[in-house]
Amino acid sequence: MVDALIAILVLSIGLVLYAKNWTANYGAKNSTHVRSIAATQVAEIGNVLLANISDLDRDTPRGQIIARMQQFSGRLEDHLNSYAGARGYECTNNGPRALGAPNNAINLSQATLPRAWAQGAASCVSIRPLPNLNTQTNGVWVHIEARWIDAHTRDNQTENVSVYTLVSPL
């Protein structure tokens, strides 16, 4: 229980500090707002991952937790990214790319996050369990990242919010 609460606290503090640091460095109100939306979604995904193992107890073998996390995170990522085509972009290994536009011709009307957020998912989402990182619990570290094309970028540049969180039974 304490480990899970610490993981949630660290995730929350990390997101706040990350958003504040980005704001201090760039000071762009619109971009900061978009980044805070993406940070909120990344935190929500972390909570969904924790909820997925909420029926397990602290004595559950780590291998079982890893297997469930890998299966569920893959399905969740596929589901969230499946809306991309209907919203005018595709998810690639390098993040989102607007459909019908060459890689160097992204323009202001092709920002992906606002389109995506209207339906609940921030552009392209990556959820990667990291079973090789040891923990003092039977939990598993997970890397969660949201990538989008911001309205203020050019040449297919993407923005992202990336967080590592510990998913462990209570």
- Provide the residue-wise pLDDT of the chain in tens; the chain has 170 residues: 556 555 565 555 555 545 544 444 444 445 667 777 788 888 888 899 999 998 998 888 988 999 999 999 999 999 888 877 777 778 888 778 777 665 544 444 555 555 554 444 457 889 999 888 877 778 899 999 988 876 655 565 677 889 999 888 87
pLDDT of 158 reads 74
Residue in the block written with tokens 């920002």:
111
pLDDT of 143 reads 94
Domain locations in the chain as residue ranges: 2-167
pLDDT of 102 reads 57
| CA gap 69, 142 in Å, rounded | 9
Angle at 74 between CA 147 and CA 150, to 5 degrees: 10
pLDDT of 71 reads 93
| CA gap 77, 29 in Å, rounded | 29
Nearest to 120 by CA among 65, 45, 67, 61: 45
Contact (CB, 8 A) for 165 and 142: yes
Nearest to 87 by CA among 78, 98, 101: 98
